[in-house]
Structure 1
Amino acid sequence: MNIAILSRDAKLYSTKRLKQAGEDRGHKVEVIDHMKCVLFIEKKNPMVLYNGKRLDYFDAIIPRIGASVTFYGAAVVRQFEMMKVFTAVESQALIRSRDKLRSLQILSRAGLGLPKTIFMDYSRDTEGVIEAVGGAPVVIKLLEGTQGLGVVLAESKKVAKSVIEAFHGIHARIIVQEFIKEAKGADIRAFVVNGEVVGAMRRQAKEGEFRSNLHRGGSAKVVKLDRHEKHAAIIAAKKMGLGVAGVDMLPSARGPLILEVNSSPGLEGIEGATKIDIAGKIYQFIEKNAKKNKIQKDKVNA
């Protein structure tokens, strides 16, 4: 098959790993910078142009869209969908996953465990907000933050009030969440592909840090999920509409609590910790579904 990886940097580990894994399976794989794509829109004739070339020969795409370019990246994915090209991550699921508030609302409606969370429109009742999530310490997050950036642990009510007021002062939208003490600076990343957990790791924050993200210096080791954690990860990915997802959750006294569902999860940490060919699992998902997609496309065009 002809497969495109939508990525701005061909040198990134996940991009290189996916390209090599695809070629090892006999596919022709190209890395396409989605920000350089031009979308041609015409009645019944949508097209993607790249460096003057028509990208009308791909059987499938693997979106690796950065959070800062979600709007245009999702538009490119949507254009390929209009061209009946199979995508490992659908455009609407990508947009949904990048909206922290909407994601939490979807997961809450699904009955999944979540940390107590408050979202408000620049409310002056900061003390009431802090108490509503169980009091200090609290975690304060920018709605647009990624990879642990824009996340603050406020260890006292006074600090929490100052941080909330500072964010409001620059008109930044935030959420305030309870701090789960029993997690002890660790969280779990479950990698879900096509409705199945294909690997999981426990990420531990470095000393003096509460964010366990590997980009923030955290460490990772393989972990076996219990049935509650596995169920939560699968349902979270399903409700977000993601065929490929990294589901982050905290262990707690009341069961797993979902933090986030990532639509472009990195491969380096999970493959390094689990020694599982996660990239290969993604291609198995693509191979199975792209063939079905091609059959349906051929029937329509017949």
Structure 2
Amino acid sequence: MHFLVLATGPQRDLTKAIQDAGHTYDLHDPRILYLYVSESENGYDALFNGLASLETPVRLKGKLYDAVIPRIGAGLEYGANIVTHLNENMSIFTTQTGAGLLTASNKLRTTMKLSSHGIRVPRTIGAYSPLHPDFLVKKVGGLPAVAKTLTGSQGRGVIILKDEEQTNTTLEAFWRAETPLKLQQYIEGGKRDIRAIVVGNEVVSAMERTGAKDFRANLSQGGSGRKIELTSDQKELCVRASQALGLDFSGVDIMIDEQGKAYAIECNGNAGTGIIKITGHNHFTDLVKFIEKKLGKESKDTKVESTEKAQIPLTALEEQALKKQLRDEKEMLLAENDYLRKQAEDQERRKKFPGLYKMLGM
């Protein structure tokens, strides 16, 4: 099989799983791809590589790809369009839908979608202009409560509200910065939460994270993790959450309260790989197997000339893989202009609202 990996950063664990299974891949940063929609009723929509070093953009031939694996961080809004285009307009299987990735990136929309599918979530209220603090806090069960920006990962943009004064000043800061927020019931879980990796209808690995500095248990915030086995009910909750968002592959975060009730907190369309080191299991191998089964193809069935590759010594194959990885990483570096521009815009906002950014830990 031949995969198209859409990524905005190195993907060593994923590409290793693809190669170990005997498959091949192309890796492209979606931010440098041109999405073409034809006027033809017969469907001649296409995708072009718009890398700056190319004199003329090169068409990506859809028929060469068996499946698309998105690993999109920066530029998700446009990247999700690329995923939708490949899946719906070019009829290529994708492990995640563009709509699902966008929903997962928005914490309020995620909570709404999970609730609409009958999945237990903490009491939540969304606000653009939080001008009635008492009302908002009461709706989520009182203090303490958790305020979150609608986007953000690795524990950034999350604040615990402990008293009336802090709550009032925090909500006022959100209002003055015109930053919508999600106010949520505080779940007492002993500074612990659970990250589960879902592939298809199965939880393939899970870890329990414990916060070090505060209530946030994210590894990126200094938290620690340990491998755990979920109960059947917890596994079902994670799978249902992932499927509710249209994701065949995701990282689902859940919390267990003092009474043992499990709550779905978030679904991550681009889950970090720290869990691989903690559990000792590369979940991308499960993802590749899932795609093989989904498409009914064995590892030996690849659209690239596998018979020729079989005659190349292993050392040469390894050299080829390394060269390809270096080319891929160079391609991603050439696409960083957009990222740098967004960084400059973010710096301007930080200068304008320093107090809010400090409060959010961003």
TM-score normalised according to structure 1 size: 0.90
Shift of 1:277: 2.9
**2:48 maps to which residue?**
49
**1:102 maps to which residue?**
109
- C-alpha separation between the residues in 2 aligned to 1:152 and 1:60? 39
**2:79 maps to which residue?**
73
Shift of 1:72: 0.4
Correspondence for 1:187 among 193, 196, 199:
193
Check whether the contact 2:34–2:48 (CA below 8 A) recurs between aligned residues. yes
**2:356 maps to which residue?**
none
Count of residue pairs the alignment pairs up = 284
- C-alpha separation between the residues in 2 aligned to 1:261 and 1:122? 26
- C-alpha separation between the residues in 2 aligned to 1:283 and 1:211? 32
Residue 5 to residue 276, structure 1, CA distance change in 2 (3 Å): same
Q: Which structure has the greater CA radius of gyration?
A: 2
- C-alpha separation between the residues in 2 aligned to 1:255 and 1:273? 25
- C-alpha separation between the residues in 2 aligned to 1:142 and 1:70? 17
Q: Does 1:215 align with 2:220?
A: yes
Q: Does 1:5 align with 2:5?
A: yes
Q: Does 1:227 align with 2:232?
A: yes
Query: What SS does structure 2 have at the residue aligned with 1:26?
Result: coil
Unaligned runs of 5+ in 2: 52-56, 298-362
**2:337 maps to which residue?**
none
**1:296 maps to which residue?**
none
**2:328 maps to which residue?**
none
Query: What SS does structure 2 have at the residue aligned with 1:163?
Result: helix
**2:124 maps to which residue?**
117
The one-letter amino acid paired with 2:220 is H
Shift of 1:188: 0.3
Q: Does 1:246 align with 2:246?
A: no
Check whether the contact 1:141–1:150 (CA below 8 A) recurs between aligned residues. yes
Shift of 1:289: 2.2
Q: Does 1:141 align with 2:148?
A: yes
Query: What SS does structure 2 have at the residue aligned with 1:31?
Result: strand
Shift of 1:254: 5.4
Displacement over 4 Å in runs of 4+: none
**1:270 maps to which residue?**
275
Check whether the contact 2:130–2:172 (CA below 8 A) recurs between aligned residues. no
**1:300 maps to which residue?**
none
Residue 158 to residue 254, structure 1, CA distance change in 2 (3 Å): farther
The one-letter amino acid paired with 1:175 is K
Report percent identity of matched pairs: 32
Check whether the contact 1:130–1:157 (CA below 8 A) recurs between aligned residues. no
RMSD value, Cα: 1.5
Correspondence for 1:24 among 11, 20, 24:
20
Unaligned runs of 5+ in 1: 293-302
Check whether the contact 1:106–1:239 (CA below 8 A) recurs between aligned residues. yes
C-alpha offsets along residues 78-101 of structure 1, whole Å, 9 cap, x if unaligned? 121121211111212112222222
Check whether the contact 1:228–1:255 (CA below 8 A) recurs between aligned residues. no
